[in-house]
């Protein structure tokens, strides 16, 4: 079974999560690896190209 590690990039279907995100998107695993292994759960933040002025949005820089 795959146990995602913190900072892994994964693709996930966010459709059942609500009306904001309704398709398959990349996400960043933000929970600690040991938490993911011990509980079978992980916290994933969706990645989008939409830019908003909310305090919860951060910019991910592309490598050069």
Nearest Cα to Cα of residue 10 among 26, 23, 21, 33: 26
* Residues in the chain, total: 64
The pLDDT of residue 41 is 95
List helix spans (H) across the chain. 33-39
What one-character-per-residue DSSP string does 1-18 give? ---PPTT-EEEEE-GGG-
Beta bridge partners of 29: 44
Q: How confident is the model at residue 60 (pLDDT cuts 50, 70, 90)?
A: confident
pTM over 0.85: no
Please state the φ and ψ torsions of residue 7, each to the nearest 5 degrees. 80, 0
Q: What is the pLDDT of residues 4-51, one digit of tens each?
A: 999 999 998 877 655 566 678 899 999 999 999 999 999 998 888 888
């Amino acid at each position: 079974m795959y146990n995602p590690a913190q900072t892994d990039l994964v693709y996930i279907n966010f459709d059942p999560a609500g009306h904001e995100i309704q398709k398959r998107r990349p996400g960043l695993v933000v929970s600690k690896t040991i938490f993911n292994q011990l509980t079978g759960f992980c916290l994933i933040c969706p990645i989008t190209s939409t830019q908003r002025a909310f305090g919860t949005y951060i910019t991910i820089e592309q490598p050069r």
